[in-house]
Amino acid sequence: MPVITNIDDLKRLHRKRTPKMFYDYCESGSWTEQTFRENTTDFDQIRLRQRVAVDMEGRSTATQMIGQDVAMPVALAPVGLTGMQRADGEIKAAKAAEKFGVPFTLSTMSICSIEDVAEHTTNPFWFQLYVMRDQEFLKNIIQRAKDAGCSALVLTLDLQILGQRHKDLKNGLSAPPKLTPAVLADLATKWTWGLEMLGTKRRGFGNIIGHAKDVDDPSSLFKWTAEQFDPRLDWGKIEAIKEMWGGPLILKGVMEPEDAIMAAKTGCDAIVVSNHGGRQLDGALSSIRMLPAIMDAVGDQVEVHLDSGIRSGQDVLKALAMGAKGTFIGRAFIHGLGAMGEQGVTKALEVIHKELDISMALCGRKSVEDLDRDVVLVPEDFTGRWA
Ligand code: GLV
């Protein structure tokens, strides 16, 4: 058993053990990947203030996100095709999250279906919705999430059309993979993945297959999104979905203060400052850079969460210190899953928790609720002067 001390260790194992097509899907941004890169490098620009002679006993990272108790304010983000990183991946990740005490968010584009994840877990999870053109499908999937007892709907606002990630096109990404000579050669070195996949029936888009009509090629994410996703999503439709759902709502993918104001006006429970992990609009600023402006615009009206770029507990601490009430991790837990299944997701959460707890203590704070702007040193020009 290798000694895992950080998320990069899990990432290396993920790469070694998972078919290239799925590792690349996880580790890609759109076009030049500038935004994808800056999401992480911008976190590095923020430094921490070391404080001493503060009693550190009795620390806690526990708090709430949208009024729900969490062991630390780190939710598992919705990630498409998670069940291709490892057989039954969504069920494994959801189990790890519930044991740890953090929210798990199931993607619309998951491999395991809503019902399947509900059947294999006991705590309610969150469901992420992509809005489809087919109204019947939309109503139906919202009802399915309600029936499964999902405790929040995470509505993604930044993916009516899919950003281009070059590697996915070159690799011929599909679920399940098409067994071309290149894929077969790759699988020859990933036999545990293959054996586990042979042992499960969950190898296609579980929320879609059997539920949506007129699908040309149900294995292709590109065709799916192009044919089915509703490019007409606007604030009116968001209101309608809020009504249809009737429960806690999180609006994900907000990057501009004007949009944050519109989002807060819907009466949603939280917004997520996110550029979709740099997978949509390349050239957008990192989400951590946009956080201060969004806090100024709506911080007193709605709970603000952040994702995109978080790879450590120190990143979580920085986001919280700058005003976020919660964070989401995507790649960081997928690396764990691809490396070691459920145990790897638990490991990723443990790594992040330990980094958050120790950093918080060395900054002289005993609770995540006490983290504020005084904990961090932010370069004067961090948010930048843009015309
Ligand atoms: C969403 O499904 C994505 O690929 O980013």
Count of CB atoms within 10 A of residue 366's CB?
Answer: 16
Nearest protein Cα to ligand 1, atom 4: 80
Give the mean model confidence (pLDDT) for residues 65-82.
98
pLDDT at 215 over 80: no
In angstroms, the Cα distances linking 363 to 62, 331, 350, 352 are 17, 27, 20, 16
Name the CA dihedral angle for 13, 19, 21, 25, rounded to a multiple of 10 degrees: -30
Q: Which of 151, 89, 142, 146 is nearest to 120 (CA)?
A: 89
| Domains identified in the chain and CATH numbers | 7-369 (3.20.20.70)
Query: Is residue 346 very low, low, confident or very high in pLDDT (cuts 50, 70, 90)?
Result: very high
Please confirm, yes or no, whether 276 is among the known catalytic residues.
Answer: yes
Query: Is residue 219 very low, low, confident or very high in pLDDT (cuts 50, 70, 90)?
Result: confident
Contacts of 226 (CB under 8 A, 6+ apart): 161, 162
Residue ranges of the annotated binding site for FMN are 78-80, 107, 128, 130, 156, 252, 274, 307-311, 330-331
Check: CB of residue 383 under 8 Å from CB of residue 133. no
pLDDT of residue 228: 86
- Using DSSP's 3-state secondary structure scheme, residue 44 falls into helix
DSSP-H helix ranges across the chain: 7-17, 20-26, 34-45, 82-85, 89-100, 114-119, 135-147, 166-171, 181-187, 191-198, 221-228, 235-245, 257-265, 287-298, 313-321, 331-362
Question: Whole-number mean pLDDT of the chain?
Answer: 96
Residue with the two structure tokens 């210190």: 321
Residue 277 CA, closest ligand 1 atom number: 5
**Distance separating alpha carbons of residues 263 and 238, to the nearest angstrom:** 9
In angstroms, the Cα distances linking 283 to 31, 35, 163, 248 are 9, 6, 12, 32
Query: Is residue 234 very low, low, confident or very high in pLDDT (cuts 50, 70, 90)?
Result: very high
- Region of poorest pLDDT, from 11-15, 221-225, 284-288, 356-360: 221-225
Q: Which of 21, 30, 31, 79 has most ligand 1 atoms within 8 Å of its beta carbon, as the pocket-test mutant?
A: 79
pLDDT of residue 225: 83
Q: What is the pLDDT of residues 242-257, one digit of tens each?
A: 999 999 999 999 999 9
Backbone angles phi, psi at 249, to 5 degrees: -125, 135
Q: What is the pLDDT of residues 15-43, one digit of tens each?
A: 999 999 999 999 999 999 999 999 999 99
Choose the catalytic residue: 276, 305, 335, 353.
Answer: 276
pLDDT at 272 over 80: yes
Identify the residues whose C-beta falls under 6 Å from ligand 1. 80, 109, 276, 279
pLDDT of residue 172: 95
pLDDT of residue 226: 84
Give the mean model confidence (pLDDT) for residues 197-210.
94
Give the mean model confidence (pLDDT) for residues 292-296.
98
**Distance separating alpha carbons of residues 9 and 332, to the nearest angstrom:** 11
pTM above 0.85, yes or no: yes
Query: Is residue 277 very low, low, confident or very high in pLDDT (cuts 50, 70, 90)?
Result: very high
